[in-house]
A and B are shown apart, each in its own frame.
Chain A
Amino acid sequence: MIDPSLQALVSQIFLGLVNGSIYALLSVGLTVIFGLLRIVNFVHGAQYMVGAFLSYILLIEFGIGFWWSLLLSPLIVSAVSAVIERVMISRLYNIDHVYGLLFTLGLTLVTEGVFRYCFGSAGRAYVVPPSLSGTVDLGFVVFPRYRLFVVLASIIICFATWLVIEKTRAGSYLRAANENPDLLRVFGVNVPLLLTATYGFGAALAAVAGTLAAPIYQVGPFMGGTILIVVFAIVVIGGMGSIKGTIVASYLLGVTEALTKIAFPQASSMAVFVIMAAVLVLRPEGLFGRNE
């Protein structure tokens, strides 16, 4: 048996990793969307919330379980988001970026309002799927099985996203579109379609995060707003546009937050922002960002 205070430390780090996993899924989607569409996707938090709510509704109203929800809910959110990109957001690319931010912020307020109207503002519990309930005993410490699953799923999805963007042909289109979209069109690539698909993919990642988070946090109309602010800070710390940086920063800050909870509990929700401020002063391009 190891020292109980060390055990508490390990569990706290693990909790930090669980939060970091949700941050990572959200921040990767945000980074991919920003990198290509140059839109600060403020509605990302609402897409996350809708993802969680859809899974909840699928379970309560239709008896559809977690695994199907993990597929269906991102598909629905992605399809709706792709339509919104095509019909509305795509009109904003040629004007000041601030309009993109304002538009997606407005969309967030509307979405949250609709869900509050329909479901009230109280949080709802989503039960842990039976196949993932219980605990895993690693010998020196015991972890809830579901949370361990969330960490692994997040790492796999984030790594796969990084791999696709950095190492595949589709990824080379994305990187090229980021650098010089006009020339890519001249070469015969349908860039507007690429943008729509990318937006849909980013939104799907948010919905995956929402579905994964549903059994951990409460499902409620405002669950996205609070987490999104932290995720924005993480994207800034990691380096706007750097996927690798964003992923690493997400887990790192999840753990930092958790450790602050031991050392100085009152400051835990502040830690990310203090670090963001420090990074902005000392290394404005972010920890892993390229100096442009």
Chain B
Amino acid sequence: MTDPLPLSVENLHGWYGDSHVLHGLSLSVAEGETVALLGRNGVGKTTLLRSIVGLLPKRKGAISIWGTDVRAVPIHRIARLGVGYVPEERGIYTSLTVYENLVLPPVLSDFGMSTSDIFALFPNLEERRNSLGGRLSGGEQQMLAIARILHAGARLILLDEPTEGLAPVIVQKIGEVILLLKKKGVSILIAEQNLHFASRIADRFYLIDAGKVTRVIGRSEFGATRQLVESTLGV
């Protein structure tokens, strides 16, 4: 018997209202692995992440996190399995200060970083610790959204388009933070459109189209299949 995987999704179907978005999607994330979901807008990457954390009420198929079938688990208990989620819209609370946002998610494990370590990693968040979340720039919001999960100490992190619309210097910073997490052995599932960024951080890639996995690519084959990936993504 092998250890259960941090994340395993099998034959998942998901609906947004009446529209059927996920069509039998299967994937897995191994311990300490960083997995990138590649695909155009609207193929179901965000829907997949939302259904893993429990935000999609209408779904069918199996999702298990470290062996726990999460379909019957209340939303707030899923986090306690060690899951951290950084939504596409970042989800910074505008009426809370930076510091309040940072310590808002309950700490899940002793993986959690202290606020002083986090401020050392993101000095500009420390400068703005008493500002309201709504006053931050897009880049600062994204860093805070990630910092929040670092503080909670999640061991499986779901990142939805963390580099979207951000300046290169901030993308660089986010890349460094993800490499740091990999070094700590955190498992990461990341939806990403920025191929260059994804190729730097991920160990494995899933090509997604129309709510299904169309191809799984290992790190070593990524270079060879680059053309195929680019045409799938339409870049």
Contacts and interface: CB of A to CB of B under 8 A. Distances in A.
Contact of B96 (A175, A187, A188): A175
Contacts of A187: 76, 79, 85, 104-106, 152
A interface: dominant SS? helix
Given A176-B96, A180-B93, A186 B103 contact: no
A185 B105 CA distance: 9
Contact of A189 (B91, B93, B95, B106): B106
Interface of B: 53-55, 74-80, 85, 87, 91, 93-96, 100, 103-106, 108, 152
B80 A188 contact: yes
Contacts, number: 58
A190 B93 contact: no
Contact of A188 (B55, B93, B100, B108): B108
A164 B3 CA distance: 44
Contacts of A173: 104
A188 B105 contact: yes
27 contacts: A172-B104, A173-B104, A176-B93, A176-B104, A179-B94, A180-B91, A180-B93, A183-B85, A183-B87, A185-B76, A186-B53, A186-B54, A186-B75, A186-B76, A186-B85, A187-B76, A187-B85, A187-B104, A187-B105, A187-B106, A188-B76, A188-B78, A188-B79, A188-B80, A188-B152, A189-B76, A189-B106
A213 to B, nearest CB: 33
Contacts of A185: 54, 75-76
B98 to A, nearest CB: 12
A175 B104 CA distance: 11
B152 to A, nearest CB: 7
Contacts of A178: 95
Contacts of A186: 53-55, 75-76, 78-79, 85
Given A172-B104, A173-B104, A182-B55, A190 B95 contact: no
A166 to B, nearest CB: 10
Interface of A: 169, 172-173, 175-176, 178-180, 182-191
A197 to B, nearest CB: 14
Given A175-B96, A183-B91, A188 B106 contact: yes
Contacts of B80: 188
A239 to B, nearest CB: 14
B53 to A, nearest CB: 5
A169 B75 contact: no
A172 B75 contact: no
Contact of B100 (A172, A182, A191): A172
B17 to A, nearest CB: 14
Contacts of B77: 188
B95 A175 contact: yes
A249 B70 CA distance: 47
Contacts of B74: 190
A183 B103 CA distance: 14
A177 to B, nearest CB: 10
Residue in A172, A178, A183 with the greatest tally of chain B CB atoms within 10 Å: A183
A221 B91 CA distance: 46
Contacts of B95: 175, 178-179
A22 B212 CA distance: 60
Contacts of A179: 93-96
A269 B145 CA distance: 51
Contacts of B53: 186
Given A178-B95, A186-B53, 10 more contacts: A175-B93, A176-B104, A179-B94, A179-B96, A185-B54, A185-B75, A187-B106, A188-B105, A188-B152, A191-B76
A6 B27 CA distance: 80
A169 B103 CA distance: 9
Contacts of A182: 55, 75
